Amino acid sequence: MSTTAKRNGTVDLTQGNLLKQILLFTLPIIATGVLQLLFNTADLIIVKSASETASGAVSATHALNNLTINLIMGISVGAGVLVARYFGANDKQGLYEVVHTSFPTAIIGGFAFGAIGFIFARPLLELFNTPANMIDQSVTYIRIIFCGVPFNVVYNFGASILRSVGNAKKPLLYLTIAGITNVALNSFFVFVCKFDVEGVALATIMSQLLSAILVVRQLTKVDGPHKLVLKEMKIYPKQLKNMIRIGLPAGIQGAMFSISNIIIQSSVNSFDYLVVTANGAAHNIEGYVYTCMNSFHQTAVAFTGQHIGAKKEKRIWKICLTCVSCVITVGLVLGTGAYLLGEPLLKMLINKNIVEQAMEFGLLRLSIIGTTYFLCGAMDVMCGMLRGMGKSTVPMIITVLSVCGTRILWIYTVFAQNHALDVLYMSYPISWGICVVIESAIFVVLYTKMMRKIKRENAISQTTELAK
């Protein structure tokens, strides 16, 4: 790596041993994602001591929270793809424009979606069949969380930019600092100030603000084309259009995922509060498995984008095989481990007064979803490969139809006829399996077409040179 690259904190992902590069790049992203999840886990562990329903009230808001932020967060995927491509092509002007378009977009979008979520929190939670003995706490918690959406979005845009130029370590450092801050504030608000769910919510948004400040500060101090100059922030229409073209399908896909999960959450809420609490705890455990796997999705996007920008498309096939092999291994090991260690893990997250009654429901979810989670990882990697190639609409359509469509159809047919938790949870592995098969086939077709096009262009170029 050059001295300039070291000073800028950038890494050329198109050089060196591919497996080594992928692992070195992905591990900090995994650690970053795990720290983000520690926000929610710290909330649940600490708030469970406040009341029997507090942890369930927090868990009942997850699907709504994800629905609200996924659309605007999808645009950050578009920003990341463009940054990776411009960086690989050494296009400094394009990189400058994307960076300075990203942050006004993040700020405006964050405030807009946070306000929408705050205003409609109660009617939406009522629509999702949130249990009556939890809904007041859920509304209080989620409204405070929505106030922090702008901070969350700004951090994720900044982190996406840093990762796309090969710097995955700085986002990890900032989440470490924010995570420690979150745990400390959680303890202070709940144990010292005697707050309920509002205490953990306040701790979360304050730590998100800190992470946003740190990532913006880093981007204003780097010495390179991705440097952010705050007074020069403006929306460049061309770059915004490109970000939306790539990122909006990702956002819609995430929103549709959230809608299908909300329907599933509503189905879970049709059982009693023990099931709701156990489902939320098991979902929190699964989150660690998912974030480790999803890190390879982010890696696939960054590596593919840089390789296309650098015109090294031949290695894209190896990137795909390496990322898929890694994600399946991680998913099998961690997903199965989560189920085998399910009992002690669930005891950490569920109030001691109800843990024995709720335990079987949490273990049921882990046995079905946790052990098959590797399918979700493979699906996400294939989606990342397609997005990195600039084909963001394709995985959106595939995912919406095969995953979301399958789950919704399953709930209103199979589950409606057999109202049982195991039947409900089976919708996950079935939908993942269908999607990964279709995405893999589409990737092979698109990659083959791309390589044939490059071969034709090279042949024409050689013919022209010989004619000269």
How far from chain centre, in Å, is Cα 435? 18
Residue with tokens 């845009």: 157
The 8 Å CB, 24+ separation contacts for 130-136 are 130/60, 130/269, 131/53, 131/56, 131/60, 131/269, 131/272, 131/273, 131/276, 133/53, 133/273, 134/53, 134/56, 134/57, 134/60, 134/273, 134/276, 135/57, 135/60
- Written as six digits, the tokens of 390 are 């600039």
Which of 410, 403, 407, 397 has its CA nearest to residue 379? 403
What pLDDT is recorded for position 464? 64
Closest CA to 32 of 285, 292, 220, 208: 292
- What's the one-letter identity of residue 446? L
The amino acid occupying position 95 is L
Task: Output the CA–CA distances (angstroms, integers) from residue 325 to 306, 399, 426, 437, in the order listed.
Answer: 21, 21, 24, 15
The pTM of this model reads 0.74
Residue 413 and residue 381 in contact, taking contact as beta carbons nearer than 8 Å:
no
Report the number of secondary-structure helices (H) and strands (E) in the chain.
21, 0
Q: What is the mean pLDDT of each run of 10 residues along the chain (468 residues)?
A: 50 83 88 73 69 71 73 78 86 93 92 90 84 87 93 90 85 86 87 85 92 94 89 93 85 76 79 83 87 89 86 89 95 95 88 84 93 93 87 84 88 91 92 92 88 77 62
CB 291 within 8 A of CB 330: no
